[in-house]
Structure 1
Amino acid sequence: MSIVWNPNRRLINIETKNSTYQMKIDDYGNLIHTHYGGKLQDTDMSQELVYLDRGFSGNPYEVGKVDRTYSLDYLPQEYSCFGTGDYRITGLHVRNTDGSKGCSLHYKNHYINQGLYSIKGLPAIHDSSDDANYETLCVEMTDDVNNLEVTLIYSIINDLDIIGRSVKLKNSGNKALTIDKVASMNLDFTYGDWQWVRFTGRHAMERNIVRGDIYQGVQSIGSVRGTSSHHYNPFTVICEKETTENMGQCYGFSFLYSGEHITEIEKDQTGSTRILVGIHPDDFCWKLAPGDELELPQVLLSYSNEGLGTLSRNYHKVINKNIVRGKRSKERRPVLINNWEATYFDFTGDKLVEIASQAHDMGIELFVMDDGWFGKRDDDNSGLGDWYANEKKLGCSLKELGEKINAIGMDFGIWFEPEMVSEDSDLYRKHPEWAVKIPGRNPNLARNQLVLDYSNPEVCDYIIKSLSDILSSAPISYVKWDMNRSICDKYGNSLDADRQGEFSHRYILGLYKVLETLTTTFDDVLFEGCSGGGGRFDAGMMYYTPQIWLSDNTDAINRLSIQYGSSFGYPISTMGSHVSASPNHQTGRNTPFKTRTTVAMAGTFGYELDITKLSDDEKKQIKEGINLFHQYYDIIQQGDYYRLSTPEDKCTAWAMIKEDKSEALISAVYHGVEANQKPTHIRVPGLDLNSNYVVEYVGDEVACREISGAALKNGGISINPSRIEYDSYVIHLVRK
């Protein structure tokens, strides 16, 4: 059993393979959080709480007359509410019918179920067919004054040290309530000096790691852009100051949500730390009518006392096993070529067939037609929303083009941007009310496009039908789903005035409805997410699209830091990564073909360049790269991932190791060359310490040698010095 209830102590323990999560119902019906971390061996950690009469920390009415040391202002709580005398950041803000703001929750009941909890209309970790090691705890809390019921939900995957936390609200009274803020989780740490690791960035430079102390006060990151955003990813970590890749305590928080989010952290007067994760409250206001329910997105928590590397691998495994779905997600992913950086909007059907034909000769398996194939679309100023093929431009129907690609021996994929509409489009002229904009005001433009109102079920139904018609009309086996602007001017024409604060969340619910319908109806199609690259790179989208275009920046050296930061919370099997042209179109950098291949292989792998303009030597290198990827596919896509150095070092190195430890692949990329350069020395954990490994430099004339797994971990291996600018190596290890 993962969940243990001790009725005598009124104590609930959630046990995973390497952690204990503990809460206690105290004498006043408050649910106190007592521990999350290493195993406890049946100890009640509430006995370690120190009760003091702290100045200006008030007491609940029923307690204060007899005990001034009891205050919710410093006690660690399982779920905090505004208006209880807790002056820290709080997870639930309720506005009552009389205008008062306050809510006080007390324990009512709890129950334990086998299996994982599914959330209506939202992604959540799901049971996999080969493992029944799942349980769910539901703790029911109530406010007897306003009749609000709050259920705290904990889904547990024991072997992966994963706890999925979510919240459900229900108005059981006869008066409407307004929810101004509701976090999906609250976690209090009574002791400890912690650091916060978050992943920040901008378009084309996403998920840069930032690590710093948690100080007294409030820190937060989040997005009000309608998406999880390029700027602040909804995955964060807190850790001890001494924590490294391979040692120290750390906790991860992955928000399964693709919309507006916030992570707040406060270190208070007593030195305790609180973290809240949930929907961003700035644009959120939900009317909860009598009888209404509201289910909130899930947060995946994980704990490691063996450093950041183990924590990352917990998330890699749960995403691959319990988040991504569909038969295509489990199949071998095809090596693709996308025509975007080859042609941009300037192409014909014949040009696409020519690219596909030469790509097939080199071993590429999937051709993807990007933007510009539909409606009036020769640049990014028109056509979005008109999802019918421009047969004049293609020189044939979409079905005929797909059949031509298939006849070459390649699968056929297609690009969509279904959440957008151009003012210059048939759809906008017919339905201007479907565009997101505030009545009476000119809308904000980005790329001369507006956002379709996915909070309106009518719009969602139209998109489902339009895309279904396209996907049914041609032999399409892959869809790239793009979204190329942030959302502002938020207003839903189908929503009443007192429900406009629900727009942003209802938009995401509409998006998920569309994706759920299309991905289940067309389960033979592999869907890849995209939002100007990594603007919606989150575990919520991975529930529908098992791979996501990592960044619009295809520069191999910039990609080292983007892939490094992304790897903390996401597996490389989800990272869309391509070999592109040199000089690179975003940076102008010249990078060796071999290095571009090495970097792209730390992802789903493909090409994005005009293959018809390459030299014979470059075409040869494409064949070699594809053969290499196929040869080591299982290690790359299914192996355990280890970060061996950082992009701040002179050489970025990483390893993928088979689960049975029989093989490993080490990749290393030098950032430059120096005179009289020193070699890079790295240690490689995760191997069989009692076995020897044959070390082979793939494609390089370096003699094979033999070294033990123990020596690789404790002594390390030297990587040859760089011979040219941005040189790279791939090293294959095979257990003897």
Structure 2
Amino acid sequence: MLGVQPAWSGNTVLAVDRITEDGTAVFAGELLQPGEVVLTTGDTYTTPWIVITACNDGLDGVAHSLHAWERSLPAHPVSQPVTLNVWEALYFDQDPDVVLDLVGRAARLGVERFVLDDGWFHARRTDTAGLGDWWVDRSVWPDGLKPLADAIHDHGMQFGLWFEPEMVNPDSDLYREHPDWVLQATGRLPLPHRNQQVLDLTNPDAFAHVLEQISTVLGECGVDYVKWDHNRDLLEAGTNTRGGAPAVHEQTVAYYRLLDTLRGRFPNIQWESCASGGGRIDLGVIEHVERVWTSDMTDALSRQRIQRWTVQTVAPEYMGMHISATTSHQTGRTYTLDFRAATAVFGSFGIEWDIRQASESDLARIAQWIAWYKQERAFLHSGRVVRLDVTDPGVMAHGVITDDASRAIIAHVQYEESPSNRGVWLRVPGLDPKTHYRLKWAGPAAEDPEDVLREASRRDWDPLPESGPLGPDATITGAALGTIGVRIPRCHPETIRLIEIVRV
């Protein structure tokens, strides 16, 4: 298995070329537009790194190699706090009393980081205005953000804040003063997207402006974490400093420089790459941040596939995975709390939900999931990720195994209705073939066996065993688990069982 990808956050090309006369060629690199890089005598151009991974154990082997490298990076997070982000709770409707109420509720659940999303800065009541004007809107936050930061810190949590530094709304003071600071071809603006344009960071004045504005906010407000968004593509991305010449290369270099300059000024702040979710998750940006926002699609069922393939490139501890609302804001589909939580708990775990709407029983359950995550995150974020091959198209399975193969946690996901009543055999790779293992249900649901047992689709004649997939006392060798597997009966769609596998 060969994995190839550019470590670059700008335009790239990746292709396979196969012709009859020669062997197959795989090539990758930066995609440059005509005139984008002009070299004169003595000038140089440095290509992005191309990361190549070769292994004999399939896609999981490629992922494991990349994860091991990412875990060696200086910016790699030591431990990922439980995060509550207020976007899907409030959107642009920020009220200090409501936010402070959410702070208290979050702290009682065990949340460790509280993030104030889009809507705190000048004139930002909708997505039509304000981008580029990075100062606190006193009509919303009359005392500034420092009191909020203090309250969050007093509750023992980190304070996170949303920015979109590379973007500008035409309805902003910045644009009205400097319309020439927008990336554009000569004589016209690119088509707007989300009512915004892209700030030309290759312009030294624009770069300095946004650097100082953001530095002022970070310095005044006691920020511990920045969610750095990027909500549009770079279209007709020319720079007025060079007569409208293509500038994505220099814009990408400037983005890295801006981020690194801010990291140098504020070494205790952690940084998230959020570009409508997965718009900027790559092996270039991963060297500069502690976290990525995996997708703005927070529907748990959709997230199963999104997360399954994002982990191919990015270690799970980087990937923001949150418990979303009972009924998804994106799809309108409704799921149980346990399904949403078990979908999120393998990554950088958090909440994207108005917890004021949660019942007392839901809040108690969220607290259980948070406690379980805290107990298991060191293991979940250090082991080898495995994605099991399953013959049933209605079932997915994935998990984590320790490097010494002494323990594993596997998620059996009944993604949709199975085509038969036969159940499925989960074959778990990577265990010690000669070692015996005991299997039991794991996670908060396992604390009450009835919560697990009721998920069997045909409980009357094909039930889930109460204590674990093999029953109370049985063990199985790693060889048997890897070749034969363990059978899980057909379960109700949109349910998840966590299985702990422990060396005897």
TM-score by length of 1: 0.63
Say whether residues 1:706 and 2:475 are aligned partners.
Answer: yes
1:674, distance to aligned residue in structure 2 (A):
5.7
Q: Which residue of 2 aligns with 1:423?
A: 170
Q: Which residue of 2 aligns with 1:475?
A: 222
Give the one of 489, 496, 504 matched to 1:728.
496
- Structure whose alpha-carbon radius of gyration is higher: 1
Indicate if the aligned counterparts of 1:591 and 1:725 stay in contact, CA closer than 8 A: no
Q: Which residue of 1 aligns with 2:66?
A: 315
Equivalent positions of 1:489-568 (< 5 A) are 489-496=236-243, 500-501=245-246, 503-568=247-312
Cα distance change on mapping 1:717 and 1:278 into 2, 3 Å: same
Equivalent positions of 1:428-447 (< 5 A) are 428-447=175-194
Distance in 2 (CA, whole Å) between partners of 1:276 and 1:346 is: 47
Indicate if the aligned counterparts of 2:317 and 2:381 stay in contact, CA closer than 8 A: yes
Q: Which residue of 1 aligns with 2:454?
A: none
1:281, distance to aligned residue in structure 2 (A):
3.5
Secondary structure at 2:430's aligned position in 1?
Answer: coil
Distance in 2 (CA, whole Å) between partners of 1:523 and 1:708 is: 48
Secondary structure at 2:226's aligned position in 1?
Answer: strand
Distance in 1 (CA, whole Å) between partners of 2:392 and 2:188 is: 47
Cα distance change on mapping 1:647 and 1:684 into 2, 3 Å: closer
Say whether residues 1:610 and 2:354 are aligned partners.
Answer: yes
Code of the residue aligned with 2:171 in structure 1: it is: D
Q: Which residue of 1 aligns with 2:29?
A: 278
Secondary structure at 1:479's aligned position in 2?
Answer: strand
1:648, distance to aligned residue in structure 2 (A):
7.8
Superposed CA offset, 1:311-359 (max 9, x none): 221111112214xx33xx3321110100000111112111111111111
Code of the residue aligned with 2:169 in structure 1: it is: S
Equivalent positions of 1:38-117 (< 5 A) are none
Indicate if the aligned counterparts of 2:119 and 2:125 stay in contact, CA closer than 8 A: yes
Distance in 2 (CA, whole Å) between partners of 1:506 and 1:282 is: 12
Secondary structure at 2:475's aligned position in 1?
Answer: strand
* Equivalent pairs, count: 479
Cα distance change on mapping 1:646 and 1:380 into 2, 3 Å: farther
Code of the residue aligned with 1:543 in structure 2: it is: E
Give the one of 370, 377, 389 matched to 2:117.
370
Say whether residues 1:577 and 2:321 are aligned partners.
Answer: yes
Secondary structure at 1:595's aligned position in 2?
Answer: helix
Equivalent positions of 1:20-419 (< 5 A) are 250-282=1-33, 285-322=36-73, 325-326=74-75, 329-419=76-166
Secondary structure at 2:348's aligned position in 1?
Answer: coil
Distance in 2 (CA, whole Å) between partners of 1:678 and 1:580 is: 32
Indicate if the aligned counterparts of 2:425 and 2:486 stay in contact, CA closer than 8 A: yes
Identity %: 33
Indicate if the aligned counterparts of 2:18 and 2:24 stay in contact, CA closer than 8 A: yes
Secondary structure at 1:638's aligned position in 2?
Answer: coil
Distance in 2 (CA, whole Å) between partners of 1:442 and 1:296 is: 29
1:271, distance to aligned residue in structure 2 (A):
4.4
Cα distance change on mapping 1:417 and 1:646 into 2, 3 Å: farther
Distance in 1 (CA, whole Å) between partners of 2:434 and 2:476 is: 11
Distance in 2 (CA, whole Å) between partners of 1:690 and 1:353 is: 55
TM-score by length of 2: 0.91
Cα distance change on mapping 1:359 and 1:339 into 2, 3 Å: same
Q: Which has the higher strand share?
A: 1
Indicate if the aligned counterparts of 1:667 and 1:728 stay in contact, CA closer than 8 A: yes
1:362, distance to aligned residue in structure 2 (A):
0.9
Code of the residue aligned with 2:403 in structure 1: it is: E
Q: Which residue of 1 aligns with 2:456?
A: none
Distance in 1 (CA, whole Å) between partners of 2:160 and 2:117 is: 8
Code of the residue aligned with 1:346 in structure 2: it is: D
Code of the residue aligned with 2:293 in structure 1: it is: W
Cα distance change on mapping 1:438 and 1:647 into 2, 3 Å: farther
Indicate if the aligned counterparts of 2:5 and 2:14 stay in contact, CA closer than 8 A: no
Unaligned runs of 5+ in 1: 1-249
Cα distance change on mapping 1:523 and 1:369 into 2, 3 Å: same
Superposed CA offset, 1:73-109 (max 9, x none): xxxxxxxxxxxxxxxxxxxxxxxxxxxxxxxxxxxxx
1:727, distance to aligned residue in structure 2 (A):
1.0
1:436, distance to aligned residue in structure 2 (A):
1.6
Indicate if the aligned counterparts of 2:392 and 2:424 stay in contact, CA closer than 8 A: no
Secondary structure at 2:184's aligned position in 1?
Answer: coil
Secondary structure at 1:618's aligned position in 2?
Answer: helix
Cα distance change on mapping 1:268 and 1:550 into 2, 3 Å: same
Distance in 2 (CA, whole Å) between partners of 1:714 and 1:540 is: 38
Q: Which residue of 2 aligns with 1:687?
A: 431
1:376, distance to aligned residue in structure 2 (A):
0.3
Cα distance change on mapping 1:310 and 1:676 into 2, 3 Å: closer
Superposed CA offset, 1:704-736 (max 9, x none): 4422222211221122431x3311101112212
Distance in 1 (CA, whole Å) between partners of 2:345 and 2:481 is: 23
Indicate if the aligned counterparts of 2:118 and 2:163 stay in contact, CA closer than 8 A: yes
Distance in 2 (CA, whole Å) between partners of 1:633 and 1:309 is: 20
Superposed CA offset, 1:527-573 (max 9, x none): 01011111111111111112110111001111111111212222112
Superposed CA offset, 1:196-221 (max 9, x none): xxxxxxxxxxxxxxxxxxxxxxxxxx
Secondary structure at 1:667's aligned position in 2?
Answer: strand
Secondary structure at 2:262's aligned position in 1?
Answer: helix
Q: Which residue of 1 aligns with 2:457?
A: none
1:496, distance to aligned residue in structure 2 (A):
4.9
Cα distance change on mapping 1:717 and 1:520 into 2, 3 Å: farther
Code of the residue aligned with 1:616 in structure 2: it is: E
Indicate if the aligned counterparts of 2:394 and 2:418 stay in contact, CA closer than 8 A: no
Secondary structure at 1:368's aligned position in 2?
Answer: strand
Distance in 1 (CA, whole Å) between partners of 2:190 and 2:388 is: 48
Give the one of 445, 449, 456 matched to 2:196.
449
Distance in 2 (CA, whole Å) between partners of 1:647 and 1:414 is: 44
Moved more, 517-526 or 528-537: 517-526
Q: Which residue of 2 aligns with 1:715?
A: 484
Code of the residue aligned with 1:707 in structure 2: it is: I
Superposed CA offset, 1:362-383 (max 9, x none): 1111110000000000100000
Indicate if the aligned counterparts of 1:457 and 1:510 stay in contact, CA closer than 8 A: no
Moved more, 304-313 or 337-346: 304-313
Secondary structure at 2:328's aligned position in 1?
Answer: coil
Secondary structure at 2:369's aligned position in 1?
Answer: helix
Moved more, 389-398 or 624-633: 389-398
Secondary structure at 1:293's aligned position in 2?
Answer: coil
Equivalent positions of 1:666-685 (< 5 A) are 666-673=410-417, 677-685=421-429
Superposed CA offset, 1:385-421 (max 9, x none): 1111112212421111111222223211100000001
Larger relative contact order, structure 1 or 2 (CA cutoff 8 Å, min sep 6): 2
Code of the residue aligned with 2:166 in structure 1: it is: E
Cα distance change on mapping 1:394 and 1:358 into 2, 3 Å: same
Indicate if the aligned counterparts of 1:384 and 1:422 stay in contact, CA closer than 8 A: yes
Secondary structure at 1:666's aligned position in 2?
Answer: strand
Unaligned runs of 5+ in 2: 450-465
Distance in 2 (CA, whole Å) between partners of 1:431 and 1:439 is: 16
Code of the residue aligned with 1:643 in structure 2: it is: R
1:645, distance to aligned residue in structure 2 (A):
3.5
Q: Which residue of 2 aligns with 1:81?
A: none
Give the one of 579, 582, 586 matched to 2:330.
586
